[in-house]
Amino acid sequence: MADLDALRARFARALEGARGPAERLDRTPLPDPAPYADNLLGRWREPQRRYHTLTHLTAVLDHVDVLEAYADDPDVVRLAAWFHDAVYLPDRSENEERSARLAERALPEAGVSAAKTAQVARLVRLTAGHDPADDDRDGQVLCDADLAVLASPPSAYAAYTAAVREEYHFVPNDAFREGRSAILRRLLALPSLFHTPYGRERWEATARYNLAAELEMLSP
């Protein structure tokens, strides 16, 4: 069970870090982070979610903490983690775009600069393909944190795949196997699943093993 108070505190710290001292020069009071945190927490608790839940959000935030030394602006990456699946409907293909637009609306109101808001939105959109540029340190950290589940131990990986299947319960079995297999093949064809040195060293081999094993199970 997710600790909502702990998550609210984590959001507040990330927002405070992203606001930065420059945001306080005019001495106007900054909005309370709590309503923004509660809005996001409500979104992550929607009933259609089985994998993209508060458990996933917490795991991504934890992995960003592990990888923060590789980021240029860790708090911007943390805010992107909060927003990256804030809009999520399994039968829609524009979830990342809608999540990015939510960030573009909410963050300026919450006291984040236009430049950092744009960076958060860019990072959210990047999670649609998980293909950051070689010099995109923040993008590499967010993408690695989001895909770290692929390197889970066998029981946790099985729980992940079961939750994904539950989210797509409306898709017939044959169509799901075909679509999921295509995703797995695309991932396995990548030169590297992970982009940070930590991800490549600690997660790459296990993730490839898990993906290959799942693909074999899906094969007729």
pLDDT digits (tens, 9 = 90+) for 53-103: 999 999 999 999 999 999 999 999 999 999 999 999 999 989 999 999 999
pLDDT at residue 220 in the model? 78
Is residue 85 a contact partner of residue 129, using CB atoms and an 8 Å limit?
no
Is residue 70 a contact partner of residue 198, using CB atoms and an 8 Å limit?
yes
pLDDT in tens, 2-24: 799 999 999 999 999 999 765 45
> Cα(130)–Cα(123) distance, rounded to whole angstroms?
10
Instruction: Record the tokens describing residue 180, joined without a space.
Output: 């999921």
pLDDT in tens, 130-189: 999 999 999 999 999 999 999 999 999 999 999 999 999 999 999 999 999 999 999 999
pLDDT for residue 25 is more than 60: no
> Cα(46)–Cα(88) distance, rounded to whole angstroms?
9
Give me the helix-helix angle, 137-147 and 74-83, nearest 10°.
40
pLDDT for residue 40 is more than 90: yes
Give the mean model confidence (pLDDT) for residues 11-40.
85
Give the mean model confidence (pLDDT) for residues 114-141.
97
pLDDT at residue 20 in the model? 79
> Cα(129)–Cα(138) distance, rounded to whole angstroms?
15
> Cα(160)–Cα(140) distance, rounded to whole angstroms?
22
Give the mean model confidence (pLDDT) for residues 30-34.
94
What is the phi-psi region of residue 190: left when phi exceeds 0, alpha when psi lies from -120 to 50, beta otherwise?
beta
Handedness of CA 124, 18, 55, 66 (dihedral sign): positive
Is residue 80 a contact partner of residue 92, using CB atoms and an 8 Å limit?
no
Is residue 74 a contact partner of residue 82, using CB atoms and an 8 Å limit?
no
Residue 93 main-chain phi, psi, to 5 deg = -105, -5
> Cα(9)–Cα(154) distance, rounded to whole angstroms?
32
Residue in the structure block whose two tokens are 């590297």: 192
pLDDT at residue 28 in the model? 73
> Cα(131)–Cα(42) distance, rounded to whole angstroms?
29
